[in-house]
Amino acid sequence: MEFQPVTSGQKDSILDAAHDAERIKDHATRFMHRLAEVFGEPRFERDWGLKFVLAEDRITATFSSIFGLGKGGLRFHSDENGIFGLYVIEKRFENALGQAEWTAVWALRVTKDGQIHPGGAIGESVPVRVSLRHRDDDADAYNVARSIFYRLGAV
């Protein structure tokens, strides 16, 4: 297996990794709080059969839906621009032996600048961004909630 050398710019991009990771975690936590408010509306459980529970750490989540169980959590990665977070949505499946396995079905890319990119694929240009700075972005949070629900059933 052959790997490309790491450039000076790539190494420099992660000099503030701990600080950047904390900023990313703060942004993700605030966004998950907004999603909890959206998912907390009675219509999600009534119309979609979906329950959302945010853990005590205010960032890890579990989903119970007509499509099965899901969970979400934040993971840190780096690229040439530095540190970013992927909030990965996973769905529970059973393998051939009847054992539980979790498979990623969707993600949100979280930048240190507070942008949330639905879809989250590394290197992919995603046109929809959810700004965390404005309270009037609940329509965006609602669309992210709908996307999570769809992805739990699409696999």
Model confidence over 17-46: pLDDT tens digits? 999 999 999 999 988 988 888 888 888 889
State the chain's mean pLDDT as an integer: 86
Which of 41-45, 47-51, 56-60 is the least confident region? 41-45
> What's the pTM?
0.85
How much is the pLDDT for 136? 53
How much is the pLDDT for 155? 72
- Report the C-alpha gap between 3 and 20 in whole angstroms: 26
| DSSP one-letter code for 154 | -
Q: Compute φ and ψ for 80, nearest 5 degrees.
A: -65, -15
How much is the pLDDT for 52? 93
Q: Where are the domains of the chain?
A: 8-153
Q: Compute φ and ψ for 85, nearest 5 degrees.
A: -110, 150
